[in-house]
Amino acid sequence: MPLRPDDPTRIGHYRLTARLGSGGMGVVYLGVAWDGSPVAVKVLRPELAGDQEFRRRFGREVASLVRVKGAYTVRVIEADSQSSTPFVVTEYAQGPSLSEHIDKYGSVEPDMLHALATGLAEALTVIHAAGIMHRDLKPSNIILTDVGPKVIDFGIARRQDTTGMTKTGMVVGSMGFMAPEQISGRPGPAADIFAWGVTVAYAAAGRSPFGAGNAHSILYRIMYGDADIAAVPDSLRPLVESALAKDPQSRPTAPQLLDRLTSAARRPERIADAPTQVISSQAPAAPAPDAPGNKKVPIGHRIATMAASAIVAIRRRRPGRRAAGPPGPKG
């Protein structure tokens, strides 16, 4: 989206060129660094910059982002929570969001779904290891880049040992992706695991496992109903089912999710000596745009690369370094 007349054209050392999105706390811009590389610049809304509660929350966001360093999360380049216009600069994750892909193609193919689920489990492992929660994992906050999925928007992340993050009675999260305890206002890291399960089920079917309708109906089904996970492949269904347990203590942790996913990926029948070629060859070529049935076409080269990168990176990771990942691309 182009800049609006009242948008800044420069923040710190960065020239702003377009709007990427906006939320309750601020506006995210596409920026250009001094070396010409693209970056994402999140700026606190001017009307909130003078509000000490929001400024403290923004400061916590910055601190959270600095602690999160992984292959499948955006990295912080620079941040300033004390200036008159607080901002944070992260790498720009280029690619469609998972929600955009689902809108266009309908769902994610099973082999690509396994790689996506693994990348997201790796991201949550790194996030939770840093002592924070994401609290808003959903398809629109997952960017499908050439090097794998990137989890973005830690605008409502918080430390696991803090309370009073929001005003009393305020529910933080997105409709359809909140865990039962998040709806009740008492979320912990397990709420992110629930969101992982919803996201994987959503990607498999192209629709929410808790259905559509008004907010009351969706929240009721999350609290008391059963999720529809019939579209989830057999290899992932037990994990998704456990992630969607109503009781947060019954859900696996992020490292447990990652262990089970990577154990499955290491089986000989899934991974050969050349995993990149195996995974890539499992992505069929996309039919011509006018061909019937192209609603279900896989993402193609980008997601084939994503799947291969996810599996290769995991296979090459040294024992004991599961939560660490290669640095993200510059810029």
Domains with residue ranges and CATH for the chain? 12-91 (3.30.200.20), 98-316 (1.10.510.10)
- What sign results for the dihedral spanned by CA atoms 264, 266, 271, 272? negative
Q: Is the pTM of this model over 0.85?
A: no
CA-based R_g, the chain, Å = 20
Lowest mean pLDDT among 147-151, 245-249, 265-269, 319-323: 319-323
Q: Would you place residue 180 in the very low, low, confident or very high pLDDT band (cuts 50, 70, 90)?
A: very high
Give the largest Cα separation in the chain, rounded.
Answer: 58
Q: What is the pLDDT of residue 157?
A: 52
Lowest mean pLDDT among 23-27, 187-191, 201-205: 23-27
Q: Chain centroid to CA 83: how far?
A: 29
pLDDT at residue 228 greater than cutoff 50:
yes
Strand partners, 32: 15, 38
pLDDT at residue 86 greater than cutoff 90:
no
Task: Determine the average pLDDT of the residues in 253-264.
Answer: 93
pLDDT at residue 125 greater than cutoff 90:
yes
CA–CA separation, 125 vs 4, rounded Å? 38
Q: Which residue has the higher pLDDT, 271 or 94?
A: 94
Per-residue burial over 150-169, b if 16 or more Cβ lie within 10 Å, else e, is bbbbbbbbbeeeeeebeeee
pLDDT at residue 270 greater than cutoff 50:
no
Q: What is the pLDDT of residue 161?
A: 53
pLDDT at residue 226 greater than cutoff 70:
yes
pLDDT at residue 260 greater than cutoff 90:
yes
Task: Determine the average pLDDT of the residues in 77-105.
Answer: 90
Q: Would you place residue 135 in the very low, low, confident or very high pLDDT band (cuts 50, 70, 90)?
A: confident
Active-site annotation holds for 192: no
CA–CA separation, 150 vs 171, rounded Å? 25
CA–CA separation, 97 vs 102, rounded Å? 9
pLDDT at residue 119 greater than cutoff 90:
yes
CA–CA separation, 151 vs 143, rounded Å? 6
Q: What is the pLDDT of residue 71?
A: 92
- Percent of the chain residues past pLDDT 70, beyond the cut: 73
Mean pLDDT of the chain: 78
- Residue in this structure with the two tokens 């009740």, named with its chain if needed: 184
Q: What is the pLDDT of residue 81?
A: 80
Task: Determine the average pLDDT of the residues in 255-284.
Answer: 55
Q: What is the 3-state secondary structure (H, E, C) of the chain?
A: CCCCCCCCCEECCEEEEEEEEECCCEEEEEEECCCCCEEEEEEECHHHHCCHHHHHHHHHHHHHHHHCCCCCECCEEEEECCCCCCEEEEECCCCCEHHHHHHHHCCCCHHHHHHHHHHHHHHHHHHHHCCEECCCCCHHHEEEECCEEEECCCCCCEECCCCCCCCCCCCCCCCCCCCHHHHCCCCCCHHHHHHHHHHHHHHHHCCCCCCCCCHHHHHHHHHHCCCCCCCCCCCCHHHHHHHCCCCHHHCCCHHHHHHHHHHHHCCCCCCCCCHHHHHHHCCCCCCCCCCCCHHHCCCCHHHHHHHHHHHHHHHHCCCCCCCCCCCCCCC
Q: What is the pLDDT of residue 28?
A: 92
Q: What is the pLDDT of residue 11?
A: 93
Q: Which residue has the higher pLDDT, 296 or 120?
A: 120
Q: What is the pLDDT of residue 253?
A: 98
Q: Chain centroid to CA 305: how far?
A: 18
Lowest mean pLDDT among 135-139, 223-227, 322-326: 322-326
Q: What is the pLDDT of residues 275-328, one digit of tens each?
A: 322 222 233 333 333 333 444 333 334 444 544 454 444 334 434 333 333 333
Q: What is the pLDDT of residue 111?
A: 84
Q: Which residue has the higher pLDDT, 92 or 282?
A: 92
Q: Would you place residue 267 in the very low, low, confident or very high pLDDT band (cuts 50, 70, 90)?
A: low
Task: Determine the average pLDDT of the residues in 228-249.
Answer: 97
Q: What is the pLDDT of residue 145?
A: 93
- What sign results for the dihedral spanned by CA atoms 40, 193, 255, 166? positive
Q: Which of 42, 50, 287 is nearest to 152 (CA)?
A: 42
Q: What is the pLDDT of residue 186?
A: 83
Contact 88, 62 (CB under 8 A): yes
Structure token digits, residue 37: 């590389």
Task: Determine the average pLDDT of the residues in 109-129.
Answer: 94
**Which residues does 53 contact at the CB level (< 8 Å), separation at least 6?**
none
Catalytic: which of 7, 51, 136, 234?
Answer: 136
